[in-house]
Amino acid sequence: MTAKHNIPFLERQSYRRRRLIDTIRMLPVIGAVLWAVPLLWRRTQNGGEVTTSDAIIYLFCVWLLLVVAGGWLARTLKRSDAEETERGR
């Protein structure tokens, strides 16, 4: 007796849309991990301490990267929804 594997068929577009939504949901987790990186910094190459201004610049760059990534992903999701609606007509 052979067991049949029931593999559900997902359309390529809906699969990509779900993975895009998963990526959007992961952005806050990725952001939290990146924001915690300055806590691991000990010293610079010269042996001196890492300055607060370097850490603030790093945090601002991470924040800006997250904003741009979130905007791009939201725009991509909106475009995906529009294509799906157009195909459904």
pLDDT above 70 covers a percentage of the chain that reads 79
Token pair for 83: 């294509």
**What range does the domain containing 74 cover?**
21-37+51-88
Counting the structural domains of the chain, the total is: 1
pTM for the complete prediction?
0.72
Q: Does 62 fall in a domain? A: yes
Q: Is 70 exposed, middle or buried (0-12, 13-18, 19+ CB in 10 A)?
A: middle
Q: Does 46 fall in a domain? A: no
Q: Does 57 fall in a domain? A: yes
Q: Does 78 fall in a domain? A: yes
Dihedrals phi, psi of 43, to nearest 5 degrees? -140, 160
Q: Does 60 fall in a domain? A: yes
pLDDT digits (tens, 9 = 90+) for 45-87: 666 777 889 899 999 999 999 999 999 999 998 888 777 666 6
